[in-house]
Structure formats: C-alpha cells, structure tokens
C-alpha cells in the first residue's frame, strides 16, 4: 500500500491553540475520588490529598486546560458545598451518576490546587440547571476578586489569600439534556441573563452548543435558533459569549465492545470518529452566519470513545486499546487541521472514566494508549497548522449489510520556528504503507535533523493492564535525514507516528 502526503509549507491555516489538547474531569465513578483525590491521610503518596503519581504523569503531557466539575454533575453542583473545612462539608447525592453519596471533599480549592500541580488552566462549568445567576456570579467573585469583599475574605480564610484567576467559565452543560432539557431559544435568553451579572469579572464565557450525534439539533434546532435568539433585541450594553461548545462522542451500535470487537466494528468506529470533521464544519458554518469574524470560538469540551459496557453502574469505566489511541489521533489531527475553527477541546475523561488518560486501582496506576497519543502530539501546541494533502487507498468494509469505506491514512502538520511536526495514522489492520512525502515550499528545504516515534500494539485490541502496564507504549523509529531527503517514510499497520523534521 502506498500513500502520498503533501505538506504545503507556505499555506498556513492558523495557530494551534494549546487548549485543543485539554482534559475533562467529572464527579463520576472513580475519576475524582480514588483517581485524582485520595485524601491527606491515604497510604497512597499524595500532596494535600492529590495523588502524586497522577500529577507526575499528567505534567509530562503538558495539559493546557482542565474542565470541572462536569458534565451532568455540574448542573446539580452547588459550589458552597465544596469549600471550608472538609469535615463540615455537607454530604449530597450524585443524582446523575449512580445516586452515590458525594462528600464534597474535592471542591473549588482542591480543583485549583490540582490544576496548579499539573500546570493546567482551570475551566469551571457553572450550574444553570438548578442554579442561579447569583450563585454563578458569587462563585466567580469568590475565585477571582482581589479586593476586600466578603467573598474574597472568605476565600482567604479558607486558605487562599490570592485570587485564583480562573479565566474559563461554562454557562451550564448539555442544556438540551441533563442540564434541564431547555429549548435553544429559552437557553439563549438565560445565557444573556447570566452574562448580565458575570460580565464585570472579565472572564471567558462558554455557552452550551449542540449534541453532535443528533443531526437535527446540530443543523437547525440548536445552533441557528440559539444565535438567532441570542442576538435578538440587542441591549446597548450587550455582552457577548466567547465560546460555544459542541459535544460529540465516538459511539454507536456497530462499534462492538471496548476489547471484543470484530474487524468491521473496528473500522466502523474509526469511520464514526472521522465524522467529527463534518460536525466542526457544520457547526462553524452555522455560527459564521451570526459571527462571520469568528469572535466566538468553537469549543469541543466533551469528546472521545464511549463503549457500550460503560454504564453508570461501573462509573463509565472501560478498557483503552490501540483502537482508542487511533480514535484520539484521528480527532487531534482534525483539530489541528482546523486550527482556524477549533479553539479548545477536552477529552472525556482524565482518570478512570471513558477514554481515560490514566487508570488507577488503589495504589496502582497506569497510563493508557490514548495518554501516549497526547504525549506524541504535544509538540503541535502553539505551532502553525499547515495545509496537508493525503492521497491514500480507501479501506472498504461491510457493516450490517452496508458497504462503507474509510481513508487508510490520516494526519496533520504544524510548523514551529524551523521545525516541521508531522503526525500520521495508518488505520489499516494488516498493511503497512510506504509514504511518499512531499514538502512544498517557496524556499529551498534542507533537512538538518529528523526524529520519529511511533505507537502501536501487537494487536488493535492490545491495552495496558495493571499486570502489564507497558504493553502499548511509544518507541523511537529508525527514521533518518536521508529517509526524509528521499521523501520515504514507512507507517506500520494500526499505528500512530510523530515525525519532527528540522530545516
């Protein structure tokens, strides 16, 4: 199998916002308790109750931003339950995820502490479903005000004399569903009400966008009606939003389980993943009708693999195979290629839930194949996205009587200083591909250095377990300057490759 990859050095798309490599942590299953937070008295090594091993692993992949506390949990979360002495915090019921008792030991201060430890900017999702504008503006004042207000002084009493300076704030979560089943016009009106009371704090506000797997909501019922109502009857002091959030998970009845899937189910899941590109184009086009200058950023603050066996009863826990790593790579390539459209993306979720970066079991911890993709791709952050053209074979397969196909190779490219960073994914189950690499530039390109790493497993169903935590991990490849000068690169079957070429 042969593939031609053309990188147009002179055709710049836009700066790759580091935030598209963001993460998401919700009070769901063992994401927070046991995954991130174990308490200061735990035998598991920790810093102020936060697991040291998780912090060390996340710092390595340079997480730019972390979204919290949900998810569905956010619209039933009242922030005052999670401040002050932990032994005095109320015990509440997590109505969305199993009806378990939430002890609120991990609240605002602990979340900010965790973000600072891993080097991420905090992104807090406000409660719209069961909350109020007053509760929202008080939370922002508590976090960000540097003066002597009662809330700022209370923050100091609780251990933080300096403001947290939280920039990103979501105005509710999935308001079309678990956030309260609003219609888009009513939600747009509510967003304007919230903005009226929080605009004075100079924060970046993100409104809830559509559910990506509902095409009716995507094309008409949510995006266009939201913006139509949002911009109707402008007040002289109209306050805009800064971001608009799309959610799109890779899941469906033809994908099989997390580790028990057939070859057609393998390809169907990756084909489903590739639909993210259409969703971005559709939502951005609808947004452009009202925001042609693109002042409002497209945010994809929930995405990732969601397998059928991940139910509330197990806290949405699932294994993470090589196939999931390819899902991560295909999505990240799409985000990089559309750097002019996507301003943030947050994979779901950071620890122990859905397409997790990390899995824990008591004192044990491992990083997943998806984590390794983030490690491979982190060099894209803050680079300039370049046009990339891929001419490759289509892989045909049959799914429930339907003949389908998907391109064998995906990729993206970015430039930082004099270094080209190229990521390429070969999804073929059995065939490696020889890549003819073309670097188009108005300047003469002389390659000084080339290094590459690749991620693959012995099988697409391979995953890291607590008995074998390094079953799937990246390795250096034998690429050389001569290989790049000859424009010949080999991609193994079901693999992700990251290539740095210094000019």
- Give per-residue pLDDT as tens, 164-191: 999 999 999 999 999 999 999 999 999 9
CA angle 216, 221, 227 (to 5 degrees): 140
30 and 81 belong to one structural domain: yes
The Cα–Cα gap between 368 and 325 comes to: 8
Measure CA 383 to chain center: 18
Residue 448's pLDDT is: 85
Angle between helices 133-144 and 150-157 (to 10 degrees): 60
Instruction: Give the other-Cβ count within 10 Å of 191's Cβ.
Output: 22
Those residues whose C-beta lies under 8 Å from the C-beta of residue 449, and which sit 6 or more positions away, are 481, 500, 501, 502
Are the C-beta atoms of 22 and 16 separated by less than 8 Å?
Answer: no
* 249 to 312, 331, 373, 436: CA distances (angstroms): 16, 11, 18, 33
Which residues have a Cβ under 8 Å from the Cβ of 87 and sit 6 or more positions away?
A: none
Do residues 432 and 354 both lie within one domain? Answer: no
Q: Is 358 exposed, middle or buried, given 0-12, 13-18 or 19+ CB atoms closer than 10 A?
A: buried
390, 486: one domain: yes
pTM for the complete prediction? 0.96
Q: What was the pLDDT predicted at 314?
A: 86
311 in any annotated domain: yes
Q: How many domains does the chain have?
A: 2
Of the candidates 412, 408, 404, the residue with the CA atom closest to the CA atom of residue 384: 412
Q: Which of 329, 348, 381 is the last residue of a domain?
A: 381
On whether residue 282 sits in a domain, the answer given is: yes
- Whether 135 is catalytic: no
Assigned domain for 151 exists: yes
Same domain? 114 vs 165: yes
Distance (Å, whole) CA 229 – CA 197: 19
State the pLDDT at residue 211.
85
Query: Quick check: 259 and 269 in contact, CB under 8 A?
Result: no
Whether residue 195 sits in one domain with residue 73: yes
Residues 195 and 72 occupy one common structural domain:
yes
Distances (CA, A) of 85 to 35, 122, 147, 397: 22, 22, 23, 58
**CATH number for 460:** 2.60.40.1180
User: What is the domain range of residue 454?
Assistant: 2-7+386-502
The residue out of 381, 402, 434 marking a domain boundary is 381
d(CA 274, CA 267): 11
Same domain, 171 and 293: yes
327 and 455 share one domain: no
Question: Does a structural domain hold residue 259?
Answer: yes
What is the structure's pLDDT at 478? 78
Tokens of 347: 């994979």
Helices 322-337 and 276-288: angle between axes, nearest 10 degrees:
30
What pLDDT score does 214 carry? Answer: 63
Q: Would residue 362 show up in a list of annotated catalytic residues for this protein? A: no
Residue 200: predicted pLDDT: 83
48 lies in the same domain as 87: yes
- How far is residue 153 from each of residues 8, 106, 166, 432, measured CA to CA in Å? 55, 21, 17, 62
**Domain edge (last residue) among 316, 348, 381:** 381
Four-point Cα dihedral 174, 177, 181, 187, nearest 10: 20
Task: Spell out the SS3 assignment of 179-243.
Answer: CCCCCHHHHHHHHHHHHHHHHHHCCEEEEEEEECCCHHHHHHHCHHHHHHHHCCCCCCCCCCCCE
DSSP state of 73: G
User: What is the DSSP-derived secondary structure letter of residue 30?
Assistant: T
The CATH number given to whatever domain includes residue 294 is 3.20.20.80
Domain check: are 332 and 424 in the same one?
A: no
Task: Specify if 12 maps to a domain.
Answer: no
Give the closest residue to 129 by CA, choosing from 180, 194, 193, 78: 180
Residues 292 and 196 in one domain: yes
DSSP collapsed to 3 states, 394-435: EEEEEECCEEEEEECEEEEEEEECCEEEEEEEECCCCCCEEE
Catalytic residue, chosen from 141, 190, 302, 454, is: 302
Which residues in the chain show pLDDT less than 50? 219
Is 413 inside a domain boundary? yes
Say which of 110, 121, 141, 174 is annotated catalytic.
Answer: 174
The answer to whether residues 450 and 480 touch, using CB atoms and an 8 Å cutoff, is yes
Residues paired with residue 345 on neighbouring β-strands, in sequence order = 300
Q: Is 28 part of any domain?
A: yes
Same domain, 173 and 311: yes
């Amino acid at each position: 199998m042969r593939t031609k990859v053309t990188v147009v050095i002179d055709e710049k798309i836009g700066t790759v916002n580091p935030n598209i490599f963001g993460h998401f942590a919700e009070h769901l299953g063992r994401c927070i308790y046991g995954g991130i937070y174990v308490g200061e008295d735990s035998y598991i090594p920790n810093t102020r109750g936060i697991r040291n091993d998780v912090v060390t692993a996340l710092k390595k992949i340079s997480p730019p931003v972390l979204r919290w506390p949900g998810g569905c949990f956010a619209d039933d979360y009242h922030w005052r339950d999670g401040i002050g002495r932990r032994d005095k915090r109320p015990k509440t019921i997590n109505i969305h995820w199993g009806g378990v008792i939430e002890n609120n030991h991990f609240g605002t201060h602990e979340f900010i502490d965790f973000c600072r430890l891993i080097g991420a900017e905090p992104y807090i999702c406000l409660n719209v479903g069961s909350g109020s504008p007053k509760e929202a503006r008080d939370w922002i004042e508590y976090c960000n005000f540097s003066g002597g207000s009662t809330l700022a002084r209370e923050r100091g009493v609780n251990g933080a004399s300096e403001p947290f300076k939280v920039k990103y704030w979501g105005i509710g979560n999935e308001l079309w569903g678990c956030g309260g089943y609003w219609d888009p016009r009513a939600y747009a009106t509510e967003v304007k009400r919230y903005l009226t009371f929080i605009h004075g704090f100079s924060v970046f506000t993100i409104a809830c966008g559509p559910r990506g797997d509902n095409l009716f909501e995507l094309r008409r019922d949510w995006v266009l009606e939201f913006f139509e109502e949002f911009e109707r009857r402008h007040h002289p002091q109209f306050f805009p939003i800064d971001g608009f959030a799309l959610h799109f998970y890779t899941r469906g009845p033809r994908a099989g389980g997390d580790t028990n899937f057939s070859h057609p189910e393998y390809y169907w899941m990756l084909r489903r993943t590739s639909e993210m590109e259409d969703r971005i184009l559709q939502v951005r086009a609808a947004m452009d009708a009202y925001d042609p200058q693109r002042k409002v950023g497209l945010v994809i603050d929930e995405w990732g693999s969601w397998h059928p066996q991940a139910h509330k009863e197990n806290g949405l826990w699932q294994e993470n195979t090589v196939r999931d790593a390819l899902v991560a790579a295909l999505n990240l390539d799409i985000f990089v290629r559309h750097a002019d459209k996507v301003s943030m993306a947050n994979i779901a979720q950071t620890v122990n839930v859905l397409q997790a970066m990390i899995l824990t079991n008591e004192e044990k911890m491992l990083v997943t194949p998806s984590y390794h993709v983030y490690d491979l791709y982190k060099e894209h952050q803050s680079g300039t996205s370049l046009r990339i053209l891929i001419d490759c074979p289509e892989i045909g397969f049959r799914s429930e009587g339907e003949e389908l196909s998907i391109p064998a190779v995906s990729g993206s490219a970015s430039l930082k200083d004099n270094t080209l960073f190229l990521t390429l994914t070969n999804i073929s189950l059995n065939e490696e591909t020889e890549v003819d690499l073309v670097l188009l530039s108005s300047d003469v390109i002389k390659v000084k250095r080339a290094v590459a790493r690749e991620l693959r497993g012995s099988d697409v169903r391979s995953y890291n377990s607590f008995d074998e935590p390094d079953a799937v991990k990246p390795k250096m490849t034998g690429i050389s300057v001569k290989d790049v000068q000859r424009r010949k690169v080999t991609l193994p079957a079901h693999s992700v490759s990251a290539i740095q070429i210094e000019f």
